Structures are given as structure tokens and as C-alpha cells.
């Protein structure tokens, strides 16, 4: 059986004063059979747990971000959902205790392929066991347990985080007060699988991947760059790019048409996004998280029936948000989630936003997302 | 000034009995400044030129195919538009003389990076001068001139061929009786540019590309495979794949989830398509044709104004076909062509088909395309 160990805290953690680490009970058994020893989940918190311990909002992330969803006194750097979380913000930290967990398998503090195995003093790398979305959810649940939190007022997540919300609800239904899925999916469709499969092949095809056995920090940077370019293309929409870039050219390369170098602004934008990702993300972590998204199918928890799976967490109030221009987690998949939740007796608020920003709209079109999320949280009753 | 030479006919042509070669007048000056010496265009013909020489239909292709659009007595192998061209078919060879030209820059017989330079007995490769869509059109025009054909009843093309139709009309307006553009574009949009730019980067990133200086047949097969997978993803639609593949798995790899090998049917389909392309297409040809599509902008012929460019070939009857699920040449770009043609006084028949097959619908959803094209050609008057 595959195993992996993790040291807590990882190297460099002193630079991240808001990041905390939850040591989970051992061994942490994975959904597809592997085991993680010395399992750890990195997380950040905002607001305060009330005396009734019923005001926690558990936030899962998309594929790329860390647990740094918002700034705090300890770390004033803006987070990836800065305007959503805080005093007077849609997820109001005067009322809610917000916990954002770094996904298991992600390189930003939780147990993952970059974790150091204390027995070998080397990173786990390709020997990290197969990760499932169910494991990300279970690690978040276990992290809350270390904080003495048994129930959550809401579990929330966009993209991969939206999948994780469903995996959480189906595994721990009695602990969930309500749920918010944003541009998620109950299962990946073949178009998204095709894109992610190609992204993984780009990474694996880079000779620097070395079958997964690269030295930390010397991995397949080219493959990650190419994969992230494809990701960036699919995270937005053609309509947005028409507005933002049109056929604008990069002035500095105007004379370079004789070779095959980038000439258009949109190409420079992709390069910038790709370099930023390749500088910070680990290839084996990327492969694990990407594959987990393809493999996820909520119907596995309902004997092959989606309705059967949704029935396991019936009657929780739910907010389902999606975007009409999302090509990766298309709006029909959001509607599918909303329909199944309603069929299972949940009061569901569903919005299909006409945002131009595609899958990334939850980060970019906050004028639509903030009121919907704020309104939903205002309606959640807590003791505090 | 960059130059390239081509031998006629190329090696292997004896296996293609229907393929003919037009030697063009020398030197053939390219739109962006290069020159091709000993220029040649490969083509195939169906039907007969009438005595008035006014019944020719000039057909340009998409990026990948050869001039073998349909079978004939000389070559019974089905062509890429087999059901569209022939006796009693939508483009009826009892009435029309159909000439399909292999695009300049394509590896299937016309002057291209795989052409042999007789001075060195080596292929032109990376030294082939920069190709433009305008050159593909001009080479087609020059090929007809070698046949004594001055005017065409219609110029027709899908995808890159649709761009080529517009480049043809704007350069040779007095010679065009009518036009048919299918899933083409008056200029590439930034989404399509981003995808093609990434495809070219995949090819160039393959070490086997060697800066374009690979030995013929020993080029960047991996890069071409990856690029073609991305192409295949964008040529179809998510909705079609949901129907065709869903989450079906490849049975033989059911036990392989522990590594990162393909597991879903859609991945096997992509691999099949990609291998077929990498087996037959040359990397430098691909780079040239792909870049030409990004660079094409019909408004360059109207002093920066699309309306000005369309005004140069006003009042020709036109058929404009597009598909609502096309993500590469989206339906708005088809509507743009139709609107500009109408504004320039053309009688325009425009169809936005709801086909599921995306950009490739002109090859796959013939039940919609055949009647539209047949009806349009039935209305074209010729002397014969």
C-alpha cells in the first residue's frame, strides 16, 4: 500500500504568519486505498468560533490557491477572495468563523507530493498515493475535528472546491448546516476530462518530469507552463478576451513575425499567467489534483445514481452559483446540482450569471457573486 | 529575401493518380515579402470545364486535408467531402467543374516547407518564407490561370478555407461569380489565437523540432500529437462528447489509475486522432498554416476597415454557413461576414446551424450542410 509522510510545519512556513497546521489522526486512509502517515492540513481562520460552536464556514479552494483566502492582522497580504471574507463582507466575520483549508495534495502546506518524508528527508513526489476529491473533503473535516468543531454552518467552495463541497456533504451529511457550490460539478464531463488529460500529458511529456522523480524545484517547468496556458484559456471566455485584447499586438515584438514568437497581447497574457503558475506550483501536486477532478463522480456514493447520492444529504439549504460562459464547469452542470438538491428536498437558490469571465467569474465578477453570497449567509441562523 | 524552391512532382506522387500539379509563373511573390521559386500547386478536378469556361467551382480546404475532396475514376478512395461533390450531389459535377487546391504551405503536394530544394536536394524546412492566407488564395488563382480559367462560378471553403475564400474575393474580385464561406472568419479572434499559439508552442517546445531544422520524417512527433489533441478538443463540442463518450472508460486500462495513463474513452479518441495527424502532417507546414490563420485580417485590405474590405467585392451572391456550437470560428464571426456582405450589397443566404459537432460540423453533420449547399449551387447560372 502506498504511503506518504509529512513534516509539520514545512520549510518556509515562517514567512506565512497566518497559516496554521492541523495534525490529523494517523493513519489517514485515502479513498482509493493509500495511506498518509503524519497527515497535516494547512489552513487559515478569520472571525471567532462562538460558544455554541455552530458558526464555522468551511471553505475549500480551486486547484491553484492556498488557504490564504483573505488578509488578516497576522498576514495583511490580500487573499484570493479578499472582498468576500471579513468584517461587514458577504461572509461576515463578525458573525462567522471562517476556516479555509489548503487542499490535501496541494503544495501550499497540506500533505502532498512536496511533503518531506522524515525517514528519507526527501519529498514524497511520485510515491504520494492516489488522491481523490473525497480525501480533500475528509482532510478538511478532520482538520476541523482537531479544532473541536463538529458541525459547520456552511461548507463552501468554487471549482474543485465545489466538487469538494459535494464530496463533503455526501461523506459527512450530519455535520453540514448548508452548502454553497460555485462553478463546481457532480462529475467531470468528457470535455473537461479531455482538457485536463491533455494538460497532464504536457507535464508528463516534459523530459524534466523524469517519470515524477525530479528534484524539488527542478521539475517540468515547461510542461507546467504549457498546461497552465491551456488552463488559462479555458478559465475565461472568448467574449471577455475579445473585449480585453482584441487583436492588439505586443509592440516590442512587432518585427518578429518571421519566426514563431508571440505577437499578440493575448499571447503575452498567457505567458505571464503561465510563468506565475510554474514558479509556484509543483508538478506532481498538479497531476494529483487534476486527476482527482477527472475521477470524481458523486454518483459513486449513490450506487451509480446521482439522485441516490444527493439523497444522502437531503434538505440542507443550498446556494448554487454558475456562469453561462463557463466552458470547463458548464452551466448545465450547475443546473444539474441545483435540480438534484431540490429533488432531495433542499431549499435551493440558483443563479446562472451572464458574466463574461467564464469559469473564473467567482474571482473576477464580484459584483454578481458578492450580493448572492452575502444574501445567503445573512439568512443562515447561528447561536452567536 | 527568403526563398524556397519546389520540385514537381514530389516523391510519392505516383501513389496519388488523381493529383495534378500546376506549375505557377515565377517568381511567386508572397504577401509578406518572401518569394517561392518553381512554385507548384497540387490540385484535383471533378466534372468538366464547359465551353464558356464559366462553370468552375474553386474549393479551398481547412488546415489538414489534401486536395482529395472526393473520389474519382482515377482515385476511388473517398475524399474529405465525398458526399458533397459528384454526379447528382450538392456540388453537382454534371454542371460544375470542381477544382480543389491543396493550400500553399501544406505538405500534400503544393510548395511548402517539405518541398525539396533542387539546389540542395533537401527540404526547405524552416527557410520557407512566411506564408499568409492571401498567398494560399493567390496560389489557387494562379493554378486556375495555368488551366486557362479566368473566372469562377463560385469560390468555396470551410475553416481556413473560409478565410481563404475572403482573401480570394478581396484580391481577385472581378473573377468571382459567387462565394461560399463555411465556419470561416474575416479575422481570427483572441481566443482562437490563444489556442493556436499554444499549439505552435507545443510543437516548437518538442526538442525534436530542433529550431525547425529536423530531418524530414524525424520531426517533433510528440509536439504535433499534443497540438492535434488540443485541435481535436476545439473542433467538436462538449455537448457532442457528452453524448458520444460520457464517462465511459477504456476497459483495458481499468487497473492503471495508480499512474497517470488515460482511462476514459475520450482520451483514447484524442490519442487516435493525434497519432493519425502526427503520422501524416509536417511540423513546419503546420506552424506556417497555423500562424497564417492568426495573422489573417481582412480589414488589412480595407485600410483597417472590414466594411472597406468587403466593399471591394460587393454584390456577389453569397452563402454563409456556421454552427452555433463552434468555439474556434464562433457563430458571431459567421454573422459578421454575412452582415458585411449584405451591407456591401450581396444577396446573402445565412444559416446558423444548431449542429452538435462544433467546428467540424461541415464534415460530420452533412444532413444540414448538403441541402443548403445544394440549393445554393442549383441557383447559380452557368452557360453550359
Structure confidence by residue, pLDDT tens digits, B23-65: 999 999 999 999 998 999 999 999 999 999 999 999 999 999 9
CA gap B354, B41 in Å, rounded: 36
Rounded to whole angstroms, what are the CA distances from A370 to A180, A261, A292, A321, B189?
A: 13, 40, 29, 11, 31
Mapped onto helix, strand or coil, the DSSP state of residue B378 is: helix
> Is residue A184 one of the residues assigned to a domain?
yes
- B359 labelled catalytic: yes
Same domain, B60 and B142: yes
* H runs (alpha helix) in B147-282: 160-171, 190-205, 221-235, 238-244, 265-280
With cell 500546376, the residue in question is B22
Helix (H) or strand (E) holding A285: helix A283-295
Alpha helices (H) in chain B, listed in sequence order: 133-146, 160-171, 190-205, 221-235, 238-244, 265-280, 283-295, 306-310, 331-343, 361-364, 366-378
Given a contact cutoff of 8 angstroms between Cβ atoms, the answer to whether B41 and B22 are in contact is yes
Shared-domain flag, residues B137 and B250: no
- Cβ atoms < 10 Å from Cβ of B352: 16
Distance of alpha carbon B82 from alpha carbon B65, whole angstroms: 12
Distances (CA, A) of B261 to A198, B63, B202: 11, 29, 20
Question: A193–B247: do the CB atoms touch at under 8 Å?
Answer: yes
Same-domain pairing of B197 and B179:
no
Q: Are the beta carbons of B193 and A264 separated by less than 8 Å?
A: yes
Give the tens place of pLDDT for each residue, B227-275: 999 999 999 999 999 999 999 999 865 544 456 778 999 999 999 999 9
Whole-angstrom Cα distance, residue A87 to residue A200? Answer: 40
Establish if A126 belongs to a structural domain. Answer: yes
Contacts of B262 in chain A (CB under 8 A): 197
Which uninterrupted H or E stretch holds A44?
Answer: strand A40-46
Tally of domains within chain B: 2
Check if B330 contacts A (Cβ < 8 Å): yes
Residues A35, A74 within the same domain: yes
- Omega prior to A9 cis, within 30 of 0: yes
Residue B121: the pLDDT is 87
Do B47 and B156 share a domain, yes or no? yes
pLDDT at B252: 64
Place of cell 503524519: A38
| Nearest-CB residue to B191 (from A187, A241, A297) | A241
Sequential DSSP letters for A346-379? --EEEEEE--SSGGGHHHH-HHHHHHHHHHHHHT
Cell of B291: 500562424
Last-in-domain residue among A231, A257, A286? A286
Select from B286, B321, B342 the last residue of a domain: B286
A319 CB-near residues (< 8 Å, 6+ apart): A178, A179, A180, A181, A348, A349, A350, A372, A373, A376
With contacts defined as CB-CB under 8 Å, which chain A residues touch B202?
202, 226
B327 contacts in chain A (CB < 8 Å): 238, 327
- Give the span between the Cα atoms of B235 and A353, in whole angstroms: 26
Same domain, B216 and B175: no
Judged by a CB distance cut-off of 8 A, whether residue A279 touches chain B is no
| pLDDT at position A118 | 76
Q: Is B246 on the interface with A (CB under 8 A)?
A: yes
CATH number of B114's domain: 3.40.50.1820
> Hey, are the CB atoms on A233 and B194 less than 8 Å from each other?
yes
Annotated active-site residue A83? The verdict is no
Q: What pLDDT is recorded for position A11?
A: 45
Q: Does residue A384 lie within any of the structural domains?
A: no
Quote the CA–CA distance of B272 and B225 in Å, as a whole number: 10
**Closest C-alpha among B94, B223, B247, B331 to residue A202:** B223
- The verdict on residue B333 lying in a domain is yes
Tell me, yes or no, if B135 is annotated catalytic. no
**Position B383 in a domain:** no
Q: Is position B84 within any domain? A: yes
Query: Could you tell me the CA-to-CA distances from A198 to A192, A266, A277, A289, B270 in Å, in that order?
Result: 10, 21, 17, 14, 9
Question: Would you list the DSSP string of A86-104?
Answer: ETTSSEETTT-EEEEEPPT
Q: How far B116 CA sits from the closest chain A CA (Å)?
A: 21
Listed residue (B139, B119, B127, B110) closest to B29, CA to CA: B139
* Catalytic choice (B326, B340, B346, B351): B326
The one catalytic residue among A54, A294, A326, A360: A326
Question: Could you give the angle at which helices A265-280 and A221-235 cross, rounded to 10 degrees?
Answer: 120
Same domain (yes/no): A155, A26: yes
* Residue A314, Ramachandran bin (φ over 0: left; ψ between -120 and 50: alpha; else beta): beta
C-alpha distances in angstroms, A378 versus A95, A365, A374, B129? 9, 20, 6, 64
Please report the number of interchain residue pairs, chain A to chain B, with beta-carbon separation below 8 angstroms: 131
What domain range includes position A233? 193-286
Interface contact A190-B245, CB threshold 8 A: yes
Whether A134 and A17 map to the same domain: the answer is yes
Which residues pair with residue A352 across a beta bridge?
Answer: A322
Nearest alpha-carbon partner for B145 in B175, B105, B183: B175
What's the gap in Å between the CA of B61 and the closest CA on chain A? 23
SS3 B141: helix
Residues B331 and B356 in one domain: yes
CA distance B42 to B74: 15
| pTM score | 0.94
Of the residues B239, B263, B286, the one at which a domain ends: B286
A37 shares contact with chain B (CB less than 8 Å): no
Residues 83-112 of B with CB under 8 A from A: none
Contact between residue B4 and residue B127 where contact means Cβ atoms under 8 Å apart:
yes
| CATH number reported for the structural domain that contains residue A200 in this entry | 1.10.1740.110
Residue A2 near chain B (CB below 8 Å): yes
* A33 shares a domain with A155: yes
State how far the Cα of B61 lies from the Cα of B103, in Å rounded to an integer.
7
Q: Indicate if A35 and A111 belong to the same structural domain.
A: yes
Do the domain assignments include residue A293?
no
Each of the 384 residues of chain A gets a pLDDT tens digit; together they read 344 444 444 444 556 789 999 999 999 999 999 999 899 999 999 999 999 999 999 999 999 999 999 999 999 999 999 999 999 999 999 999 999 999 999 999 999 999 998 788 899 999 999 999 999 999 999 999 999 999 999 999 999 999 999 999 999 999 999 999 999 999 999 999 999 999 999 999 999 999 999 998 899 999 999 999 999 999 999 999 999 999 999 986 554 445 677 899 999 999 999 999 999 999 999 999 999 999 999 999 999 999 999 999 999 999 999 999 999 999 999 999 999 999 999 999 999 999 999 999 999 999 999 999 999 999 999 996
Judging contacts by C-beta atoms under 8 Å, the chain A residues touching residue B207 are 207
Element (H, E) at A3: strand A3-5
Residue B7, CA distances (Å) to A42, B22, B59, B110, B118 in order: 65, 12, 24, 10, 7
Q: Which three cell numbers stand for residue B16?
A: 496519388
**Partner residue facing A194 (CB), from B266, B294, B297:** B266
Question: Considering only residues 289 to 318 of chain B, which have any Cβ-Cβ distance to chain A shorter than 8 Å?
Answer: 291, 294-295, 297
Contact A47, A96 (CB under 8 A): yes
Query: Looking at the domain assignment, is residue A114 inside a domain?
Result: yes
**One domain, residues A276 and A346:** no
Q: What is the DSSP letter of B281?
A: -
pLDDT value, residue A9: 46
What is the C-alpha separation between A202 and B225, in angstroms, rounded? 11
- b/e map A254-277, b = 16+ CB within 10 Å: eeebeebebbbbbbbbbbebbeeb
Contacts for A348 with CB less than 8 Å, ≥ 6 apart: A317, A318, A319, A320, A338, A341, A342
pLDDT in tens, chain B (384 residues): 344 444 444 444 556 789 999 999 999 999 999 999 899 999 999 999 999 999 999 999 999 999 999 999 999 999 999 999 999 999 999 999 999 999 999 999 999 999 998 788 899 999 999 999 999 999 999 999 999 999 999 999 999 999 999 999 999 999 999 999 999 999 999 999 999 999 999 999 999 999 999 998 899 999 999 999 999 999 999 999 999 999 999 986 554 445 677 899 999 999 999 999 999 999 999 999 999 999 999 999 999 999 999 999 999 999 999 999 999 999 999 999 999 999 999 999 999 999 999 999 999 999 999 999 999 999 999 996
Amino acid at each position: 500500500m502506498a504511503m506518504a509522510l509529512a513534516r509539520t510545519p514545512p520549510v518556509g512556513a515562517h514567512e506565512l504568519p497566518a497559516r496554521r497546521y492541523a495534525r490529523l489522526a494517523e493513519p489517514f486512509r485515502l479513498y482509493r486505498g493509500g495511506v498518509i502517515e503524519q497527515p497535516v492540513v494547512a489552513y487559515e481562520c478569520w472571525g471567532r468560533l462562538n460558544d455554541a460552536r455552530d458558526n464555522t464556514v468551511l471553505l475549500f479552494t480551486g486547484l491553484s490557491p492556498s488557504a490564504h483566502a483573505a488578509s488578516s492582522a497576522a498576514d495583511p497580504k490580500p487573499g484570493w477572495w479578499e472582498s468576500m471574507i471579513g468584517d461587514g463582507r458577504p461572509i461576515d466575520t463578525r458573525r462567522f468563523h471562517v476556516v479555509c483549508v489548503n487542499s490535501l495534495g496541494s503544495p501550499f502546506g497540506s500533505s502532498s507530493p512536496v511533503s518531506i518524508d522524515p525517514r528519507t528527508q526527501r519529498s514524497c513526489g511520485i510515491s504520494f498515493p492516489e488522491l481523490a476529491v473525497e480525501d480533500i473533503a475528509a482532510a478538511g473535516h478532520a482538520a476541523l475535528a482537531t479544532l473541536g468543531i463538529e458541525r459547520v454552518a456552511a461548507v463552501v467552495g468554487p471549482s474543485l472546491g465545489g466538487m469538494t463541497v459535494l464530496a463533503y456533504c455526501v461523506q459527512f451529511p450530519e455535520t453540514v448546516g448548508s452548502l454553497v457550490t460555485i462553478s463546481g460539478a457532480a462529475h467531470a464531463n468528457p470535455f473537461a476530462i479531455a482538457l485536463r488529460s491533455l494538460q497532464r500529458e504536457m507535464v508528463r511529456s516534459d523530459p524534466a518530469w523524469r517519470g515524477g522523480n525530479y528534484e524539488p524545484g527542478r521539475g517540468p517547468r515547461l510542461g507546467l507552463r504549457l498546461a497552465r496556458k491551456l488552463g488559462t484559456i479555458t478559465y475565461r471566455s472568448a467574449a471577455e478576451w475579445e473585449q480585453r485584447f482584441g487583436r492588439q499586438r505586443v509592440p516590442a515584438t512587432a518585427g518578429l513575425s518571421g519566426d514563431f514568437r508571440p505577437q499578440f497581447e493575448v499571447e503575452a497574457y498567457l505567458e505571464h499567467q503561465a510563468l506565475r503558475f510554474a514558479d509556484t506550483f509543483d508538478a506532481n501536486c498538479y497531476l494529483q489534483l487534476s486527476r482527482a477532478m477527472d475521477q470524481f463522480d458523486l454518483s459513486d456514493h449513490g450506487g451509480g445514481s446521482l439522485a441516490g447520492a444527493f439523497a444522502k444529504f437531503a434538505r440542507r439549504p443550498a446556494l448554487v452559483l454558475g456562469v453561462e460562459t463557463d466552458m470547463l464547469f458548464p452551466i448545465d452542470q450547475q443546473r444539474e446540482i441545483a435540480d438534484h438538491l431540490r429533488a432531495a428536498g433542499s431549499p435551493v437558490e440558483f443563479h446562472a450569471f451572464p458574466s463574461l469571465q467564464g469559469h473564473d467569474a467567482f474571482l473576477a465578477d464580484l459584483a454578481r457573486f458578492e450580493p448572492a453570497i452575502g444574501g445567503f449567509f445573512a439568512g443562515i441562523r447561528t447561536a452567536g
